[in-house]
Amino acid sequence: MPTGPQNTYPYAVPTADNWMDRDNASERQWTRLRARPAGQDDPLPRLQAFRADGVRAGSELARQNGRVPRVVRYLLTHEQEAAAQFEALELVCQARHWLVRDELCVDSVGPAPLEDRESLSAALGLLSAGFADGLVTATYEHISPDLGEYEQFLKEMAARGWFVALALPETGR
């Protein structure tokens, strides 16, 4: 018979062979290795700030010209998921008091070079023709999962006086 205090809740005491403890220790190790100072190595906060500045500037310019900012919606998704995502984009635009173009620009080709996407080209055509001031999409991955390509796209849009708005910001905040 064992001597000493008895533990009435043995499941609360971690043991060396507890798989959850090993899993958590492994996760802590990898999380520590991935950890970076905020804003130093991670380009997403910088890109989010750049994009947000573009949205503010584009919206202010439209309002200075006496009109509501106009946007075109764009998605890179499967056709089956597009309707629900377009509705979500519509809600984002309503909350910001933007006028939404009727065109639904959706590419279902999967990750493809920007120049090979017909609907993205159509959306950019609406912008260049002056029918819209900005492009709204769900996440930056709908434009490009490659951050360098995404940054270049943002810079080209800003150089032309257009903006990119996201339903979900780059950093998830």
Give pLDDT tens digits for 76-95: 988 888 899 999 999 999 99
CA–CA gap between residue 106 and residue 111 (Å, rounded) = 13
Would 4 be classed as within a structural domain? no
Whether the CB-CB separation of 135 and 127 falls below 8 Å is answered with: yes
- Following DSSP, what letter does each residue of 95-134 receive, concatenated? HTTPEEEEEEEEE-S-S--GGG-HHHHHHHHHHHTTS-SE
- Please give the residue range of the domain that contains residue 154: 44-166
* pLDDT for res 29: 53
Whether the CB-CB separation of 154 and 164 falls below 8 Å is answered with: yes
Who's near 132: CB < 8 A, 6+ residues apart?
A: 70, 71, 72, 101, 123, 126, 162
* pLDDT for res 33: 44
DSSP 65: T
Would 72 be classed as within a structural domain? yes
Q: Please state, in angstroms and as integers, the Cα–Cα distance from residue 78 to each residue in 75, 91, 109, 118, 154, following that order.
A: 9, 20, 8, 15, 24
From start to end of the chain, where are the E strands?
Answer: 70-76, 99-107, 134-137, 163-166
* pLDDT for res 90: 94
CATH for 159:
3.40.50.1390
Would 119 be classed as within a structural domain? yes
Count of structural domains within the chain: 1
Would 7 be classed as within a structural domain? no
Would 25 be classed as within a structural domain? no
Give CA angle at 51 (47, 56), nearest 5°: 150
User: Which stretches of the chain score pLDDT less than 50?
Assistant: 9-11, 32-39
* pLDDT for res 34: 46
Who's near 38: CB < 8 A, 6+ residues apart?
A: 45
Would 64 be classed as within a structural domain? yes
